[in-house]
Structure 1
Amino acid sequence: MKVDFEELYDRFFRDVYLFVLSMSRDPHTAEEITQETFFRALKDIRHFKGGCSVTSWLCQIAKNLYMDQLRRGKRLVPQEAAGESLAERQMPAPDVSEACIQKEEALSIYRVLHCLDEPYKEVFTLRTLGELSFREIGDIFGKQENWARVTYYRARMKIIKELSQDSLQ
């Protein structure tokens, strides 16, 4: 199989990077894992049979690398945990009260998302933060596109239910 690896890298780097960023929430870790993903893909391209999309294959490699890193205990602390977020450092908020409300809403969603069971948490994250299609998510899990749609919908409903219960308290 002859592959123009530079073209493959240019075409899929952003997808893989966003996918890893959605899991790690750390740009440095996402960059590191993405680079390693393409290194592994180059090394093992002969094993790619075309049973899934290239994006799904690369994301599966990236997911495995990230999980290996977590198991080895080399998880890097996201920059957000060390202080302000990257967005806060780059752009001043025009209205402080509005920014506080938005941040609190985002934190509420992240709290609920953190407590979701798998695969809901990962499917929701892959769809919203990783911007993957349902087909790609299904491929990653070895399931059908419809399974990914239903799982994402159920995750959304669980998040909405939890958020509405929190607002009532």
Structure 2
Amino acid sequence: MAQDMSDEVLTAEYEALYRYALSLCRNEDTARDIAQDTFLKAISSKEKYSGNSSLYTWLCAIAKNRWLDICRKNSKVQELEQDIPDDSTPLEQRLDDSYCAMEIHRILHTLDDPYKEVFSLRVFGQLSFKDISSLFGKTESWARVTFHRAKKQITEQLRKDGKL
């Protein structure tokens, strides 16, 4: 294995991996489970890590596969959790933000792969284009173009629906 997989290294990656898992499933408990399962799988199969990508990218690939396993097992799509309103924000603004976010997610789920995945990885998972390209085995340029095409499709649909 090209990179040390010590407790310190894994602990440093946990928070970022948890955020990525949360971006996939939109459920804190499930995200924690995915992150934990990912680390267990990574430790048990560390000899498979070639070092061609960053440890984080490799962990994200494992987490994504774990999430897909959960989706197949449950055979249903996780619903978005509604945010609890924050009293420091005017009600109208909260509704607008929540509504806009729901619309973007609705449109996002109508996109074809890989647009849907690349957009989610970039926006919700906060992955770099380099990490995204590694996950798909493509070039960084491909990741950028795919992200911008997804963004354009979402924007066009929002305009078409009169939401932008």
The normalised TM-score by structure 2 is 0.90
Structure 2 vs 1, CA of residues 110 and 93 (structure 1 numbering), >3 Å: closer, same or farther? Answer: farther
**Corresponding letter in the other structure for 1:136:** D
Give deviations 1:112-157, integer Å, cap 9, x for gaps.
1111111101100000000000010011111111110000000000
Equivalent residue pairs, number? 163
Corresponding residue for 1:153?
148
Corresponding residue for 1:140?
135
RMSD, aligned CA: 2.1
- C-alpha distance in 1 between matches for 2:127 and 2:108: 18
**Corresponding letter in the other structure for 1:138:** S
Structure 2 vs 1, CA of residues 23 and 153 (structure 1 numbering), >3 Å: closer, same or farther? Answer: same
In structure 2, runs of 5+ residues without a counterpart are none
Give deviations 1:23-64, integer Å, cap 9, x for gaps.
111111110010010111111112211111111111111111
The normalised TM-score by structure 1 is 0.88
Contact conserved, 1:5 with 1:42, CA < 8 A, in 2? no
Greater helix proportion: 1
Q: Is 2:91 the partner of 1:96?
A: yes
% identical equivalent positions: 36
Contact conserved, 1:114 with 1:121, CA < 8 A, in 2? yes
Corresponding residue for 2:22?
21
